[in-house]
Amino acid sequence: MTASPKPIVLLLGEVLHAQDEWNALSSLAELRQINTGDREEFMSDCAAGVHNGILAISRTYDSVEVRLTGRFDRDLIRLLPQTLKFISHNGAGYDQIDAEACANRGIAVSNTPGAADASTATTAIYLLLGALRRVHIPATALRAGKWRGSMGLGHDPEGKTLGILGMGGIGTAFALRAAPFDFHLQYHNRNPVVHPSKNPTNAKYVSFEELIRTSDVISIHLPLNDTTRGLIGRKEFQMMKDGVVIVNTARGKIIDEAALVEALEQGKVFAAGLDVYEREPKIHPGLIKNDNVVLMPHIGTATMETQRKMEILVIDNIRNVLEEGSLLTPVVETRSHNL
């Protein structure tokens, strides 16, 4: 009797930090890889049946960044093989995949919740403190041989009201790191956090409008979706306290960058700390030229430890598919298809 052929798993991009764990899957599946080409070629190959037979895709974040496939939108998803049932995505945010379109095709999608919480939260703390002290001005002056340059005084965190938009895993990790600085912590979610373990700092739940109106610092930790896209615009900036500080390590498209630039130039916003941008890798020139903005190039998860944790979770999702027939961390939109 001939053995049944192994299921096929397609890797898009490179596994850089958990190669041994990835290679170990070869005992359970035939492993294929794409690390060259572009979106047009991938879609053409799908249409021609080149990838027929694959059960699961392991998708790196860089497969979007280097344009191997681009975003998994409806146009691409409709061309994917009918045999494809699972996509394991490397990233806590999964706006690079149209999860609803996947659900309509009967494809379950997973992400990497938890793996990026600590490093992203630590990045947000760095940006928060840097923005409060407007650290870009003296740091740049020092390297130019001008000592402190034209710096003014910054602010201490003690006693300030810190508003956290989104108290998920990253928002909670951020609150834990912010609490020792003696902030008054408040947050807004779609719903209040019920279990104390999910709100260990006992941050106060407030409405979205109250958070916007009363916070001295606002830090964004929301997923990008149709509800949060453009959530912070000119109207919201006008509602904020004069001299507010804005921190964003979530997704750039949550903030209207033109409105943020305007608020910075008017002095409504004292400073900002940003790791994400509306049209990455392009950055609004008004942010580039404003010395009151601390800028980082979307590196919130750029540590060796976090990248390995994320890759391991992606691989664990694939392993669970091969051994148990389901993903470990399915996204909410496709949970009913994770069977």
> What pLDDT shows up at residue 238?
98
> CA 57, CA 281: separation in Å to the nearest integer?
26
Here the tokens at position 273 are 């700390």
pLDDT in tens, 54-81: 999 999 877 765 578 999 999 999 999 9
> CA 293, CA 276: separation in Å to the nearest integer?
12
pLDDT in tens, 279-310: 999 999 999 999 999 999 999 999 999 999 99
> Do 207 and 188 form a contact (C-beta atoms < 8 A)?
yes
**CA torsion angle for 166, 203, 128, 170 (degrees, to 10)?**
-40
> What pLDDT shows up at residue 293?
98
Helix ranges, the chain (H): 19-24, 39-47, 62-65, 74-77, 99-104, 117-132, 136-143, 169-178, 208-214, 234-239, 257-266, 285-288, 304-324
The DSSP code for 139 is H
> What pLDDT shows up at residue 100?
95
> CA 72, CA 185: separation in Å to the nearest integer?
37
> Do 272 and 247 form a contact (C-beta atoms < 8 A)?
yes
**Catalytically active residues, by annotation:** 251, 280, 298
Residues of the chain with pLDDT under 50: 1-3
Q: What is the largest CA-CA distance in the chain?
A: 80
